[in-house]
Amino acid sequence: MKLTLIAGARPNFIKIAPVINAINHAKSGGHKIQYRLVHTGQHYDSTMSETFFKELNIPEPDINLGCGSGTQAEQTAAIMIAFEKELIANPTDLVVVVGDVTSTMACSIVAKKLNTKVAHIEAGIRSYDLTMPEEINRMVTDCLADYFFTTTKWAGKNLKAMGVNDNRIFFVGNVMIDTLLSNQNRFKKPALWEEFNLKEKSYLLMTLHRPANVDAGNKLKSYINEILTNVHGLPVIFPIHPRTAKIFSELGISEPNLKITSPLSYLEFNYLVERAKAVVTDSGGITEETTVMGVPCFTLRDNTERPETIEIGTNELIGTNPSAIKPALEKLFAGQWKRGNIPELWDGKSADRIVGQLIEIFN
């Protein structure tokens, strides 16, 4: 079996790492599997890419397509042009895409147009919000893919509702949680822990990067004001995504409690998540990680493609009106945040299930 694995942006690296480990494990058990790792170059800063490869022991990509910044269309087009050349030069049995970033969609289109089968890991989740580029990426990818690996039964239902046959849907759990569980004992205290004199459960951790939240600077400013006003003087750690950094620098915000830092590595970031009093975010993946670590999380979005983090986990969708922040923090400080449980099959073995299934299909 010959596979081409696609990874382009930060969350992809976290999801592809356990798949590579599972392939290597199957190979050492005598299965004949070859793979080629393609980095599209969507994320290119070393703090957004290289650090993740190093920490998670992901092998050097066989090729980096070097498709960095640009508008949605520019990025999609650049990845498609470069990946078409790559796939013609290196044909494969199956292209494996993960998640919902632009690289996921662009490579799926190219593969199908070259009559190559596609497997989508984290298939079937939906926010039903077409203003998010990720939702379009998910929908297009799931229209084209041949095999669907899902994190929840709900995702499988969504796929069935769009006509996907049951025998192509495999409920395997969550590869992002494979990475979390296998690295939890390696989490690394970042230098800022001492620098900011942090104490367990006595700080908030915040990440914001969605265009709807950060591209209009006033919105970002209101969020920050509301949080700082209602956080009882605790420090708020804000590792800042390159998209947000550009806008933030123009806002001229300087508050002693707001601790800005560049994007942290995987092991350092999750060290902070595990010990935070709460996490404020607009990321989807982080709501899964806080759920598994039992950390209160509030999401500054009006919808989520990961409802299990709310129904089962520790996440609450508080919306995008900054006035929702005060009551959420009051609830947190009153000790009334829900405890949450861990969704089914988020057990660290999802990538083994995926590779096992692929072996059954292709051998």
Residues known to be catalytic: 209
Asked if 43 is part of the footprint of ligand UD1 (rule: CB under 6 A), the reply reads yes
Stretch that binds ligand UD1, among 38-46, 187-195, 249-257, 341-349 (CB under 6 A): 38-46
Q: Rounded CA gap, 222 and 322, in Å?
A: 6
**Looking at 217, 242, 307, 319, which residue binds ligand UD1 (CB under 6 A)?**
242
Q: Rounded CA gap, 72 and 42, in Å?
A: 11
Q: How far is the CB of 28 from ligand UD1 (least distance, A)?
A: 32
User: Per the structure block, which two tokens stand in for 354?
Assistant: 């995926």
**Looking at 1, 3, 4, 11, which residue binds ligand UD1 (CB under 6 A)?**
11
Q: Supply the DSSP string of 46-105, one letter for each residue.
A: TTTTHHHHHHTTPPPPSEE----S--HHHHHHHHHHHHHHHHHHS--SEEEEETTSHHHH
Stretch that binds ligand UD1, among 77-85, 100-108, 172-180, 328-336 (CB under 6 A): 100-108
Asked if 270 is part of the footprint of ligand UD1 (rule: CB under 6 A), the reply reads no
Q: How far is the CB of 58 from ligand UD1 (least distance, A)?
A: 16
Residues 197-216 interacting with ligand UD1 (rule: CB under 6 A): 209
**Looking at 27, 133, 188, 347, which residue binds ligand UD1 (CB under 6 A)?**
133
CA distances for 311 relative to 46, 123, 207, 287, 339, angstroms = 36, 19, 22, 12, 11
**Looking at 1, 6, 10, 289, which residue binds ligand UD1 (CB under 6 A)?**
10
Stretch that binds ligand UD1, among 8-16, 142-150, 165-173, 217-225 (CB under 6 A): 8-16
CA distances for 18 relative to 52, 194, 240, angstroms = 13, 31, 26
Q: How far is the CB of 44 from ligand UD1 (least distance, A)?
A: 5
Q: How far is the CB of 12 from ligand UD1 (least distance, A)?
A: 9
Q: Which is nearer to ligand UD1, 135 or 178 (CB)?
A: 135
Q: Which residues contact 51 (CB under 8 A, 6 or more apart)?
A: 265, 266
**Looking at 35, 44, 148, 149, which residue binds ligand UD1 (CB under 6 A)?**
44
Phi, psi of 257 (to 5 degrees): -80, -15
Beta bridge partners of 219: none
Asked if 134 is part of the footprint of ligand UD1 (rule: CB under 6 A), the reply reads yes
User: How open is the CA angle 47-49-54, to the nearest 5 degrees?
Assistant: 90
Asked if 35 is part of the footprint of ligand UD1 (rule: CB under 6 A), the reply reads no
**Looking at 21, 40, 42, 270, which residue binds ligand UD1 (CB under 6 A)?**
42
Stretch that binds ligand UD1, among 7-15, 52-60, 88-96, 303-311 (CB under 6 A): 7-15
Amino acid, single-letter form, for residue 5 = L
**Looking at 2, 168, 243, 331, which residue binds ligand UD1 (CB under 6 A)?**
243
Asked if 55 is part of the footprint of ligand UD1 (rule: CB under 6 A), the reply reads no
Q: Rounded CA gap, 40 and 49, in Å?
A: 11
CB 93 within 8 A of CB 3: yes
Phi, psi of 127 (to 5 degrees): -100, -15
CB 119 within 8 A of CB 104: no
Asked if 288 is part of the footprint of ligand UD1 (rule: CB under 6 A), the reply reads no
Stretch that binds ligand UD1, among 17-25, 99-107, 178-186, 291-299 (CB under 6 A): 99-107
Residues 56-75 interacting with ligand UD1 (rule: CB under 6 A): 69
CB 349 within 8 A of CB 173: yes
**List of residues contacting ligand UD1 (CB under 6 A):** 9-11, 42-45, 48, 69, 100-102, 133-134, 209, 241-243, 283
